[in-house]
C-alpha cells in the first residue's frame, strides 16, 4: 500500500507511542501540514505572478480587449518558458487564437500614464499546452541581478547612471525586466556606493572594486556595463580598457545618426559571459540588453538536456522539522521537468527523495542554483538510483 510522506516520516522515526502521544502527534501533524501548505502557496506565489501580464489600451471595449489579449498571453508564455521560440511553435500559435480558453480574469487600472489592461491565465492549462508543444517551464528560482551602468556623456564625461533618472533607457529597462520576469536591480548610488566605487571603476571593468561595492546588495549576480554612442560607419571595435568611447566618433556628427552601444559583462555564480548590443535608440538598446541576458540565463538553466529521462535520488540534510521535509518535497515537485517525487527515507534530519525527471541531476542542480533555502553540497553524475546512490545532495539552510 502506498504511504504518504507523513506516514513514511512517522515510520522512519519508528517509536511506539501511547494513544495520548499519538493523538498529540496527529494534532501537531495537521498543524504542520497546514504550515506546509502555506509555505507551498507562498512558494507558488512568485510563479503565479509570472502568469499575469498587462498592456496599455485606449478604452475598455471588447473589440480592443480581444485584439490585445493574445499579446499579453504571448508575453506570459515567453516569461514562463524563458524562450521566445515558444511563439514559433505551431500548436502555441494556434492556441493564441483561443486565448479566452486560458484566461482566468482581467481588469483595468488607470494611472497618469493612461489605462492598462491586466490579465491572468490558468496555470494548469498553460502547463498542458507547453507539455504538448515540448517546452519546459522555468519554475526554478530566478537569479536576482545587480546592474552597474556607466555612460560616456558628451558633456559630463564618464558617469554612473541612476535608477531614478527620467530617461528612455531606464523606462524601457524597467518595462522589459517586468515583461521577462526577472529582477535586475540598480544600485542606490548613495554615499556608501560613492565611497566604494567610481564611474571609472565600472567603465574600466575593475572586477574587484565592483564585487566589493556589490556586497551590500542581496543578489546572485552582478552586471557591469557601459553605454556610449558611435557613428554607424565608425569603428565598432569593442572597448575593453578604460579609455573614453568619445574618441570613437566625431563631435560634429549628427546625433540622430549615432548608434547606441552597450557592452555588458555578466557574472552569475560560475557563469561568465559578455553581451554587446547596438541599437538606434536608448529604449531599443535597453530592450535588447534585457532580452539577450534573460535568453542566455534561461538557456543555461532550463536548456534542453542530452541526459533525457532519469530516475535519481536527491538528499536533503538539516530538515529537522516535518514542515521542512514537506517544503523540500514541494520544492522538487515545482520544477518544470520533474514528473514524480516520492520520499524514500527520513531519519535524523536527513530526507532522501526518489525523483523522476527529464534532464538528470545536472539539470536539477542548475534549476535549484538560486534557491536560497538550500545549499548544494554534492553532485554525483555517476550515481545509480537502483543501488540507492545519491546523485544530488543539499543542506537546508533556512
**C-alpha dihedral sign at 274, 141, 196, 188:** positive
Stretch 153-177: mean pLDDT? 95
Is the predicted pLDDT of residue 251 greater than 70, yes or no? no
Is it the case that residue 188 has pLDDT exceeding 50?
A: yes
**Segment 89-125, tens digit of pLDDT:** 999 999 999 999 999 999 999 998 899 999 999 999 9
Average pLDDT, the chain: 84
Per-residue pLDDT reduced to its tens digit, 15-63:
434 444 444 444 444 444 444 444 444 444 577 889 999 999 999 999 9
User: Of 3.40.50, 3.30.200, 3.30.70, 1.10.490, which CATH number belongs to 145-302?
Assistant: 3.40.50
CB atoms closer than 10 angstroms to residue 347: 11
C-alpha angle 68-70-76 in degrees, rounded to nearest 5? 110
What pLDDT sits at residue 258? 85
Is the pLDDT higher at 242 or at 5?
A: 5
pLDDT, one tens digit per residue, over 271-322 is 899 999 999 999 999 999 999 999 998 887 776 555 567 899 999 999 999 9
Indicate where the chain has its CATH 3.40.50 domain(s): 145-302
pLDDT classification of 255: cutoffs 50, 70, 90: very low
**Nearest Cα to Cα of residue 146 among 70, 194, 71, 202:** 202
Q: First CA to last CA across the chain, in angstroms?
A: 33
Measuring CA to CA, how many Å separate 100 from each of 73, 206, 288, 301, 310? 10, 51, 30, 31, 36
Look at 366 and 193; give whichever has higher pLDDT: 193
Give every CB contact of residue 3 below 8 A, 6+ residues apart in sequence: 11
What pLDDT is attached to residue 185? Answer: 97
Of 197, 201, 207, nearest to 242 by C-alpha is: 201
Q: Tell me the three state secondary structure of residue 218.
A: coil
Run of H or E residues at 163 = none
Cβ partners under 8 Å of residue 107, min gap 6: 117, 118
Q: Cα(330)–Cα(332) distance, rounded to whole angstroms?
A: 5
User: pLDDT tens digits for 367-376?
Assistant: 888 888 999 9
Going from the C-alpha of 328 to that of each of 40, 204, 397, the distances in angstroms are: 10, 43, 12
* 345 DSSP β-pair partners: 352
Strand partners, 116: 56, 109
Confidence of residue 8 (pLDDT cuts 50, 70, 90): low
Q: 82-86, 141-145, 171-175, 176-180: which range is least confident on average?
A: 141-145
Q: Is the pLDDT of residue 249 over 80?
A: no
Q: Give residue 38's pLDDT.
A: 41
Of these ranges, 5-19, 230-244, 294-308, the one predicted with the greatest mean pLDDT is 294-308
For residue 257, pLDDT beyond 50: yes
- Output b/e per residue, 95-117; b: 16+ Cβ within 10 A: beeebeebbeeeeeeeeeeeeeb
CB 362 within 8 A of CB 301: no
Residue 390 forms beta bridges with which residues? 313
pLDDT above 70: percentage of residues in the chain: 81
High-pLDDT (> 90) share of the chain, %: 65
The per-residue pLDDT for 271 is 85
At residue 249, what are phi and psi to the nearest 5 degrees?
Answer: -140, 160
**What is the pLDDT at residue 367?**
84
Instruction: Give residue 337's pLDDT.
Output: 79
Query: Which span out of 226-230, 238-242, 257-261 was modeled with the highest average pLDDT?
Result: 226-230
Amino acid at each position: 500500500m502506498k504511504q504518504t510522506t507523513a506516514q513514511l516520516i512517522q515510520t522512519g522515526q519508528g517509536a511506539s507511542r501511547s494513544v495520548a502521544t499519538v493523538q498529540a502527534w496527529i494534532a501537531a501533524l495537521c498543524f504542520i501540514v497546514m504550515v506546509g501548505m502555506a509555505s507551498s502557496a507562498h512558494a507558488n506565489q512568485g510563479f503565479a505572478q509570472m502568469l499575469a501580464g498587462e498592456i496599455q489600451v485606449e478604452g475598455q471595449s471588447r473589440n480592443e480587449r480581444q485584439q490585445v489579449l493574445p499579446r499579453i498571453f504571448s508575453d506570459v508564455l515567453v516569461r514562463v518558458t524563458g524562450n521566445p521560440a515558444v511563439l514559433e511553435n505551431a500548436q502555441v500559435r494556434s492556441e493564441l487564437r483561443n486565448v479566452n480558453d486560458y484566461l482566468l480574469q482581467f481588469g483595468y487600472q488607470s494611472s497618469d500614464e493612461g489605462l492598462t489592461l491586466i490579465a491572468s491565465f490558468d496555470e494548469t492549462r498553460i502547463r498542458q499546452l507547453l507539455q504538448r508543444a515540448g517546452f519546459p517551464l522555468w519554475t526554478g528560482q530566478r537569479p536576482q541581478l545587480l546592474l552597474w551602468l556607466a555612460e560616456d556623456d558628451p558633456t559630463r564625461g564618464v558617469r554612473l547612471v541612476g535608477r531614478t533618472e527620467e530617461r528612455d533607457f531606464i523606462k524601457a529597462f524597467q518595462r522589459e525586466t517586468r515583461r521577462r520576469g526577472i529582477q535586475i536591480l540598480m544600485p542606490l548610488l548613495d554615499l556608501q556606493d560613492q565611497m566604494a566605487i567610481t564611474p571609472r571603476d565600472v567603465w574600466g571593468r575593475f572586477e574587484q572594486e565592483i564585487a566589493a561595492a556589490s556586497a551590500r546588495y542581496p543578489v546572485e549576480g552582478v552586471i557591469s556595463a557601459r553605454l556610449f554612442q558611435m557613428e554607424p560607419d565608425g569603428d565598432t571595435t569593442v572597448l575593453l580598457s578604460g579609455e573614453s568611447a568619445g574618441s570613437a566618433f566625431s563631435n560634429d556628427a549628427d546625433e540622430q545618426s549615432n548608434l547606441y552601444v552597450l557592452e555588458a559583462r555578466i557574472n552569475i555564480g560560475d557563469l561568465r559571459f559578455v553581451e554587446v548590443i547596438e541599437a538606434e535608440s536608448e529604449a531599443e538598446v535597453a530592450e535588447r540588453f534585457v532580452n539577450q541576458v534573460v535568453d542566455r540565463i534561461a538557456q543555461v538553466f532550463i536548456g534542453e538536456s542530452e541526459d533525457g529521462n532519469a530516475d535519481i535520488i536527491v538528499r536533503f540534510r538539516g530538515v529537522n522539522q516535518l514542515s521542512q521535509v514537506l517544503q523540500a518535497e514541494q520544492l522538487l515537485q515545482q520544477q518544470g521537468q520533474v514528473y514524480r517525487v516520492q520520499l524514500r527515507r527520513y531519519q535524523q534530519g536527513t530526507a532522501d527523495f526518489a525523483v523522476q525527471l527529464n534532464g538528470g541531476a545536472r539539470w536539477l542542480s542548475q534549476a535549484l542554483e538560486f534557491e536560497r533555502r538550500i545549499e548544494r553540497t554534492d553532485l554525483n553524475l555517476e550515481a545509480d538510483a537502483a543501488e540507492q546512490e545519491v546523485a544530488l545532495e543539499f543542506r537546508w539552510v533556512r
